[in-house]
């Protein structure tokens, strides 16, 4: 299906928007080579369900296995590069800020690729695998200060080190939620990119944006439960569609 018309509409809305919120999911990192949550993982992890591993129960039951899984994931995340979709979002953020507009990238991803592409206004609502904390004291360390010689990793305070991610059944970080809702309540354009729109509360952020009167857009490879809700849906790889939108915005600037 030709995506020319949706791209034109999304470009025009981005050109006029005063306050933009972008929600991203694992799909925006897929073209960097990172597996999404619902696509089969390769190798060892094909027999484990991420939904089972990304839980406090799994960590308490088998801390070594869960530590290995996150070691495998952050090793992959550090080996890959941001893709054209991440870079396009960083350029979009720059363009909006240059025009005194507001923009917030709310990401469900824990891979740090938005920041490596140059995005600054990033809210990590599901945390990050690049920082770990003690299960007893909450004292945090960055990956560089951690040794993975002994697994699970003993903390300095008699506990274990766990990744600073939000597991299923855990509350999202208060400051991240507050920043997200504040941005949603004042936005006039909401884009959902590379997410299956199935994990709560992120999947309901679109409702807050709609209540604020925002236009809503989905850029995703496949249809999702919000596809029929949004004002405009462009289906295809974000690594292609987002650069196409940036090119259209450039043409507007040159015209």
Catalytic residues: 126
Q: Is 88 in the site for ligand BV8 (CB under 6 A)?
A: no
Q: Is 171 in the site for ligand BV8 (CB under 6 A)?
A: yes
Is 76 a residue that touches ligand BV8 (CB under 6 A)? Answer: no
Q: Which stretch binds ligand BV8 (CB under 6 A): 32-40, 59-67, 88-96, 182-190?
A: 32-40
CB of 134 to ligand BV8, least distance (A): 18
Q: What is the DSSP string of the chain?
A: ---HHHHHHHHHHHHH-SEEEEEE-THHHHTTT---SSSPPPGGGGGS-HHHHSBHHHHHH-HHHHHHHHHHHHHHHHHS---HHHHHHHHHHHHHHHTT-EEEEEE---S-HHHHTT--SEEETTEEEEEEEETTT--EEEGGG---SSSSPB-TTSSBEEEEE--BTSPPPHHHHHHHHHHHHT-SEEEEES--S-STTGGGHHHHHHHTT-EEEEEESS--TTTTTSSEEEES-HHHHHHHHHHHHHHHHH-
Binding residue (CB under 6 A) for ligand BV8 from 49, 145, 156, 222: 222
Q: Per CB under 6 A, does 165 bind ligand BV8? A: yes
Q: Which of 6, 27, 84, 112 binds ligand BV8 (CB under 6 A)?
A: 27
180 scored as a contact of ligand BV8 (CB under 6 A): no
> Total binding residues for ligand BV8 by CB under 6 A?
33
The least distance separating ligand BV8 from the CB of residue 172, rounded to whole angstroms, comes to: 6
Which residues would be at the binding site for ligand BV8 (CB under 6 A)?
Answer: 25-27, 30-31, 36-38, 54, 108-110, 126, 165-171, 194-196, 198-200, 220-222, 224, 237-239
């Amino acid at each position: 299906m030709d995506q020319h018309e949706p791209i034109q509409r999304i470009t025009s809305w981005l050109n006029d928007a005063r306050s933009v919120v972008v929600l991203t999911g694992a799909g925006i990192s897929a073209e960097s080579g990172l597996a999404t949550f619902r696509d089969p993982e390769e190798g060892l992890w094909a027999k484990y369900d991420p939904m089972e591993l990304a839980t406090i129960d799994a960590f308490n039951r088998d801390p070594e296995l869960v530590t290995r899984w996150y070691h495998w994931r952050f090793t992959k995340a550090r080996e890959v590069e941001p893709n054209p979709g991440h870079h396009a979002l960083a350029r979009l953020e720059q363009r909006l800020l240059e025009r005194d507009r507001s923009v917030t990238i709310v990401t469900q991803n824990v891979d740090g690729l938005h920041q490596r592409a140059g995005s600054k206004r990033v809210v990590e609502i599901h945390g990050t695998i690049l920082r770990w904390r003690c299960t007893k004291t909450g004292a945090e360390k960055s990956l560089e200060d951690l040794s993975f010689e002994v697994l699970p990793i003993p903390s300095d305070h008699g506990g274990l080190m766990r990744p600073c991610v939000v597991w299923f059944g855990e509350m999202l970080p208060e400051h991240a939620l507050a920043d997200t809702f504040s941005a949603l309540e004042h936005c006039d354009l909401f884009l959902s990119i590379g997410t299956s729109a199935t994990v709560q509360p992120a999947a309901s952020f679109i409702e807050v944006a709609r209540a604020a009167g925002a236009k809503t857009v989905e850029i995703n490879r496949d249809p999702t439960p919000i596809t029929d809700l949004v004002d405009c849906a462009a289906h295809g790889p974000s690594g292609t569609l987002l650069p196409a939108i940036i090119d259209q915005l450039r043409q507007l600037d040159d015209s």
